[in-house]
Structure 1
Amino acid sequence: MVSEYSKSGVDLDKLRDFHSKVASEISKTYKNTILGAGHYSGIINVNGLKLAMHADGVGTKSILALKTGIIEPIGIDCIAMNVNDLISIGAKPLAVVDYLAMEKPMDEVVDKVMKGLVKGAKESDAEIVGGETAIMPDVVNGFDLACTAIGTVDKIKDGRDVKPGDIILGLRSNGIHDNGYSLVRKLIAEGKLSLDTWKDELMKPTQIYVKPILEVLDKIKAAAHITGGSFSKLRRITNYKIELSLPEPQEIFKELEKCGISHEEMYKVFNMGIGMTIFTSPEYKDDIIKTVQKYIDIYEIGKVSEGTGISIFTYKNVVLHI
């Protein structure tokens, strides 16, 4: 069956195929690489210092930013998509460079995007050390924004220590975050979802999880940022069986499902209310929850067990196999 996401122009299976081909090619350059393509961030050894790097952009959410005039959160999105992936392998964000491309001079876009970038960087305790602003008519329609972030790593948290009996904690998302917007825009274009009604919810910036994760880093085995592909990315953490029981999501997710997206596809595309997961031993559960909930809501959402695969018990009491 062709998914609604594929109909919107995004084929997740094809994207994974691209990732595999890219990873195969770039691995030919490795000399000092400790952790290469395929995880949340790459890590390279520089004279004994482990540096983590990640690059990501804001995708087609920028189109809705122009349509709604809600532009500043896009800058926060860009920082969040990068630093959240850095902390997912145990790195402390250090610095960011940005790349803003526009089809024509856009004063308001520059001003508001930069304000958002600065807000996100300050929340992440990272410095924006430079970047590039380009005007590219005939190449860019509207604007596009991307960042590259670097961080330092003491102990790599890539999931190698995760084992059956470990538990999984979930940190609340701020809504859709910055994934699935090609599908959202398709629903808007078809008249199934009202942009006027839902614009404030749709333009909320991605939650930044740097402070709570770094505060409990010594107690966790791995963390996973729930972005494109949703919970399928937990396969990056472990090949053991993952069993999740997720809380009720925010209303925007229910509204999207009412627009014709299947319940199963919702959990394959969107974060469904959980933006970051933590893998840890049961003995640390209470301490982690007590610390993290000072920043954001956190729940016990699952466990690791013998076997393989990912199963999700949804808020509708449906079991999905992702």
Structure 2
Amino acid sequence: MSEYSKSGVNLDKLKQYHNFIANYLGSSRLEVGIGHYAGVIKFDDKYLAMHVDGVGTKTLLALKTGIIEPTGVDCIAMNVNDIVCVGARPIAIVDYLALEGEMDDVIQKVMKGLKAGAEEAEVNIIGGETAIMPGVIKGYDLSCSAIGIADALKTGEDVRPGDVVLGLASNGVHSNGYSLIRKLIDEGKLRLDDWAEELMKPTKIYVKSVLSVKDKIKAVAHITGGSFSKLRRITKFGISLKMPEPLDIFKAIESAGVSHEEMYKVFNMGVGMVIFVDKKLKDDVIDTLAKRNDVVYELGVVTEGNGIKISTYKNSIVYL
């Protein structure tokens, strides 16, 4: 049994839920079906992409540490990063904030974070909902819905063996795996006082980076819950990756009792966004991103077959 399952999150069961929902609600009218990073419909000569996501249980650590503002940025990031994964430019956000009770400080800091994230992603927050729900909410819960627009989609249909896989560096843990992290903290295996600042860093917003190379790439994958298994949304071909050495926070989580293999099945391990590109355009894409001061890793290649092989910084192999 994985440590993540012990914390109350069974990724296999969650995948079953996702598959059931996609099959039950799916429509032939969708340009990109349920289960990709965003749902897409055709509207006149444009594609409209929509996505909804939240911050998750990171909000509980926000209350413990008093570092609340980054969760507003997280909420924007988790949505706009997924919108650009289908090749769309995010244009508008609505937020949903549910509170356990009156929480003036939370309201002010969350709104400040939402505003900062929206400005970074160049999207407009056009409305939302705030609710007080005692007995239902513990602390606060924060989610957003986003809409984006595109002239053409990037869904990975043209990804082929030989294509290069690039990675954009993450800020840290971002906004997934926090049920497991909280379990380690509650058990005294990971000291919150030592890692509060690192754990509460906001999810990096990749919108400008991805859009700067959109016309030169084949596909994009946001690495969130389920980690690199997310690459299955892009291609069924094989993928071989050599991962960089991760930030210290990931080493600390592993040392607290998570197996090396599970780390690469739960966390982003320092890579928050993955880009698929034809090898002939690889250098051009890297140069463009480097000029933006993005940290870019050449992770590996698309291969024949259908497995994901990850070579870690410890020279171990993880198969997904």
Q: Bin the TM-score by the shorter chain.
A: over 0.9
Give 2:120's aligned residue: 123
AA of the residue aligned to 2:182:
R
Counterpart selection for 1:300 from 293, 298, 304 = 298
Contact 2:51–2:79 (CA<8 Å) still a contact in 1?
A: yes
Deviations along 1:152-184, whole A, 9 cap, x unmatched?
A: 012111100000110000000000000000000
Counterpart selection for 1:172 from 165, 169, 173 = 169
Q: 190-199 or 38-47: which moved more?
A: 38-47
Give 2:155's aligned residue: 158
Q: Work out whether 1:263 is the aligned partner of 2:260.
A: yes
Equivalent residue runs for 1:155-304 within 5 Å:
155-293=152-290, 294-304=292-302
Deviations along 1:254-273, whole A, 9 cap, x unmatched?
A: 01110110000000000000
- 4+ runs deviating over 3 angstroms: none
Counterpart selection for 1:313 from 311, 314, 319 = 311
AA of the residue aligned to 2:229:
S
Shift, 1:307, TM fit: 1.0
Contact 2:91–2:122 (CA<8 Å) still a contact in 1?
A: yes
Counterpart selection for 1:61 from 58, 62, 68 = 58
Q: Equivalent residue of 1:148, what SS? A: strand
Q: 288-297 or 6-15: which moved more?
A: 288-297
Q: Equivalent residue of 1:98, what SS? A: strand
Contact 1:90–1:155 (CA<8 Å) still a contact in 2?
A: yes
Give 1:10's aligned residue: 9
Give 1:23's aligned residue: 22
Report the RMSD for the aligned CA atoms in angstroms: 0.8
Deviations along 1:172-199, whole A, 9 cap, x unmatched?
A: 0000000000000000000000001100
Q: Equivalent residue of 1:55, what SS? A: strand
Query: d(CA) in 2 for partners of 1:70 and 1:272?
Result: 22
Contact 2:45–2:151 (CA<8 Å) still a contact in 1?
A: no
Query: d(CA) in 2 for partners of 1:208 and 1:278?
Result: 15
AA of the residue aligned to 1:229:
G
Query: d(CA) in 1 for partners of 2:196 and 2:135?
Result: 28
Shift, 1:32, TM fit: 3.5
Deviations along 1:228-261, whole A, 9 cap, x unmatched?
A: 0000110111111100001000000001110110
Query: d(CA) in 1 for partners of 2:233 and 2:38?
Result: 11
Give 1:144's aligned residue: 141
Contact 2:53–2:143 (CA<8 Å) still a contact in 1?
A: yes
Listed as ranges, the gaps of 5+ residues in structure 1 are none
Listed as ranges, the gaps of 5+ residues in structure 2 are none
Query: d(CA) in 2 for partners of 1:47 and 1:131?
Result: 27
Shift, 1:68, TM fit: 0.3
Query: How many corresponding residue pairs?
Result: 319
AA of the residue aligned to 2:269:
M
Q: 179-188 or 280-289: which moved more?
A: 280-289
Contact 2:40–2:47 (CA<8 Å) still a contact in 1?
A: yes
Query: d(CA) in 2 for partners of 1:218 and 1:47?
Result: 22
Counterpart selection for 2:67 from 60, 70, 95 = 70
Query: d(CA) in 2 for partners of 1:295 and 1:11?
Result: 37
Shift, 1:221, TM fit: 0.1
Q: 252-261 or 294-303: which moved more?
A: 294-303
Deviations along 1:71-117, whole A, 9 cap, x unmatched?
A: 00000000000000001110100000000000101111010000100
Contact 1:223–1:276 (CA<8 Å) still a contact in 2?
A: yes
Give 2:105's aligned residue: 108
AA of the residue aligned to 1:295:
N
AA of the residue aligned to 2:308:
I
Q: 181-190 or 37-46: which moved more?
A: 37-46
Contact 1:32–1:46 (CA<8 Å) still a contact in 2?
A: no
Distance 1:295 1:211, change over 3 A: farther
Contact 2:52–2:146 (CA<8 Å) still a contact in 1?
A: yes
Query: d(CA) in 2 for partners of 1:295 and 1:145?
Result: 30
Q: Equivalent residue of 1:239, what SS? A: coil
AA of the residue aligned to 1:248:
E
Q: 172-181 or 47-56: which moved more?
A: 47-56
Q: Equivalent residue of 2:31, what SS? A: strand
Shift, 1:31, TM fit: 5.9
Query: d(CA) in 2 for partners of 1:296 and 1:165?
Result: 24
